Amino acid sequence: MSRFKSKKGKDSPAINTSSLPDIIFMLLFFFMVTTVMREVTVMVKQNMPSASEVQKLERKSLVSFIYIGTPKESKLGTNARIQLNDVFANIEDVPLFVAREREARDEADRKLITTSLKVDGETKMGVVTDVKQELRKSNALKINYSTKKVKAGDLK
């Protein structure tokens, strides 16, 4: 009789895990809310140059992206190409792209749209200049040259 008693006294009480799912759900919701699913598959090389004086792109919903670089698939050639949304495009398609991006936003937000140029470091400026000229013509004047952030001393 006494043997049983002493054993029962040693047992530590089980931890109540009934609130564990709630904690996990909280974490889950946090990640669900902060997640931005990638909308486009980038088909061009993207090795961005580095810069020290960078600013953060705020309000991602007001940013439209233009990707420029040589195609990842080598059979598509080595010339720099422009990618708008999910397709390769020509320079003439840029104004239509800008117009569509404007259409997709609220009227009040339209003049706040920033165009982020995601350009590969090895690209020649010719293509970039063409794109910039088209953007000027379509009055999309706020642009952002996408770069990696490094400290000023680390720039070579």
Partner 1 sequence: MAKRTAPEINAGSMADIAFLLLIFFLVTTTMDIDTGITRKLPPPIDNPDENIDVKDRNVLKILVNSHDMLLVDGKPGSISTLKDKVIDFMGIHPNNDKYPEIKEVEVEELGGKIILASKGVVSLKNDRGTSYDMYIRVQNELARAFNEMKDDASVQYYGVKYTQLVDEAKSKVINKLVPVRVSEAEPENIGGGN
Residues that bind partner 1 in the complex, under the rule CB under 8 A: 17-18, 20-21, 24-25, 27-28, 31-32, 34-38, 49, 51-57, 60, 63, 114, 116, 119-126, 128-129, 132-133, 135-137, 139-149, 152, 155
| Minimum distance of partner 1 from residue 156's CB (angstroms) | 9
| Minimum distance of partner 1 from residue 2's CB (angstroms) | 35
Strand pairing report for 63-69 and 114-119: parallel
Taking CB atoms within 8 Å and a gap of at least 24, the contacts of 87-96 are 88/43, 91/127, 91/130, 91/131, 91/134, 94/66, 94/131, 94/134, 94/135, 94/138, 95/134, 95/137, 95/138
Cβ nearer to partner 1, comparing 110 with 132: 132
Nearest-angstrom CA–CA distance, 125 and 144 = 15
Residue where the block lists tokens 């061009």: 44
Cβ nearer to partner 1, comparing 52 with 90: 52
| Minimum distance of partner 1 from residue 117's CB (angstroms) | 8
Helix (H, G, I), strand (E, B) or coil at 27: helix
| Minimum distance of partner 1 from residue 77's CB (angstroms) | 13
Cβ nearer to partner 1, comparing 1 with 36: 36
Nearest-angstrom CA–CA distance, 132 and 138 = 10
| Minimum distance of partner 1 from residue 32's CB (angstroms) | 6
Cβ nearer to partner 1, comparing 21 with 87: 21
